[in-house]
Structure 1
Amino acid sequence: MLKSLKDLFDSLLPATPQADPRAAEHALQLATAVMLVEVMRADASFHAGEREAVLAALRDKFALGGDEAQRLAELAETTAQQATDLFAFTSRINERFEMPQKLLMIEHMWRVAYADGHLADHERHVLWRIADLLHVPQGAYVHARMRAQAATNEQGARGQA
């Protein structure tokens, strides 16, 4: 009887992406894109630089072309609006990313947060929450923030020159 109950519950669950490697990769890309979009959405005001930072992160992280990154970002925005929590996304990232990949993702998220020239409290909170769900150590989290802030300052200085 327990086996038949388990079979029933298993049949109600969506198919796992592990069965298809391409589906697993797409699910990972979407999960990562949703995290980047969550930072962009955390700020009350929209800034085009934030969207460009999301697209740059997706191109860098997954070697996507401009159109692919744009479509992924649009899907991530829709998915983020419908999501009730972040765990489904962070658990997929935890399954597939090693710590260096997570740190690069956190750094990209900080770049999104800094893209409009200021850091909102809610952006900081979202970043802290995601880093915690990804099991990123506090020191590494702070270093990722410092690297992103330095890169943003450097880009700003080049833009003014």
Structure 2
Amino acid sequence: MLSPLKALLSQFFMPDGGGAMDDTRSLQLSTAVLLVEVMRADTHLTDIERTTIRQVLRSKFALSEEELAQLLARAQDTAQTANDYFRFTSAMNEQFTQPEKIQVIEHMWEVAYADGHIDANENHLISKIAGLLHVTHGEYIAAKMHAKAASQPLNV
């Protein structure tokens, strides 16, 4: 009965000495949650979107398969219970450089383009996150175009 309360409190209070490892894990989780949210925003969930998220996280954070599986499971659980994006984007605003924040937006577009179709909800979500990350409209469009150019057409 106390474990849900303990989990809630641990989100808001970090033990002393948390340091860089906690910051790194927080940024990894924040990035993973935003990518999962793009996948969830689409009305048609596909394996290609899940695969794209795995590839992005593996390359961005150099995670082992076990670490990647744990991060994705935690990100999916967190995404289902999150009621806003501020806690994820505020961590990124504090720790990421502007090019890193633009790269997050580009990765979100990669997930959106993975199934060959951009859903209006995906478009809205990525636009909203770009605003929260203080990514300019020009940077947002450039990230979108770069992700679109990099996406491979589906072989049907």
Q: CA RMSD in A?
A: 1.6
Unaligned runs of 5+ in 2: 1-11
The structural deviation recorded for 1:24 is: 1.3
Q: 1:41 and 1:94, CA in 2 relative to 1: closer, same or farther beyond 3 A?
A: same
The structure 1 segments of at least 4 consecutive aligned residues displaced by more than 4 Å after TM superposition are: none
Amino acid paired to 1:116: D
Name the one with the larger helix percent. Answer: 1
Deviations 1:104-142 (A, max 9, x none): 111111010011110000000000000000000100100
Amino acid paired to 1:83: A
Partner of 1:8: none
Partner of 1:117: 116
Percent of matched pairs sharing the same residue = 47
Distance in 1 (alpha carbons) for counterparts of 2:43 and 2:16: 34
Is 1:15 the counterpart of 2:14? The answer is: yes
Distance in 2 (alpha carbons) for counterparts of 1:123 and 1:31: 17
The structural deviation recorded for 1:150 is: 0.6
Where 2:117 maps in the other structure, the secondary structure is: coil
TM (normalized to structure 1)?
A: 0.84
Partner of 1:37: 36
Counterpart contact for 1:17–1:27, Cα < 8 Å: no
Distance in 1 (alpha carbons) for counterparts of 2:50 and 2:63: 15
Q: 1:112 and 1:140, CA in 2 relative to 1: closer, same or farther beyond 3 A?
A: same
**Larger Rg over CA atoms:** 1
Partner of 1:85: 84
Q: 1:17 and 1:62, CA in 2 relative to 1: closer, same or farther beyond 3 A?
A: farther
Q: 1:118 and 1:18, CA in 2 relative to 1: closer, same or farther beyond 3 A?
A: farther
Where 1:124 maps in the other structure, the secondary structure is: helix
The structural deviation recorded for 1:48 is: 0.5
The structural deviation recorded for 1:20 is: 2.1
The structural deviation recorded for 1:18 is: 7.2
Q: 1:125 and 1:22, CA in 2 relative to 1: closer, same or farther beyond 3 A?
A: same
Q: Give the count of matched residue pairs.
A: 144
Deviations 1:29-69 (A, max 9, x none): 00111111110110011111100111111012111123322
Q: 1:47 and 1:101, CA in 2 relative to 1: closer, same or farther beyond 3 A?
A: same
